[in-house]
Amino acid sequence: MCLFCKIVNKEIPANIVLENENFLAFHDINPKAPVHILAIPKLHVDSFNEVTGETMAKMTEFIQEIVKEVKIETSGYRVITNVGDNGGQEVKHLHFHILGGAKLKWGHFSDADPKDFL
């Protein structure tokens, strides 16, 4: 069982922001912004490559509820999902990073040289 499935099953504690019958949102333990929340489906899905359109439609509504709950819907935020090893996915359970609470920079790509990736 993966780490996030254990959080869903309440086997591992998490600082929960919002929860419904299909999804769970909790604060990231290694935040990259003043607000850094992870939103996950309760049903295990490995990554964005395997998610259904129906689940994504519901996830969109859930993320919109989260940003209202933490009051960043008007100031702005970023939603990111990483897919696979090259995409930086560390936990093989679909999750969306919701970052906000400050003016966000582009981060690791701001000083990247494209030739390093060719």
> Which residues are catalytically annotated?
95
Q: Give residue 112's Cα distance to chain centre.
A: 23
Confirm if 4 and 93 have CB atoms less than 8 A apart.
yes
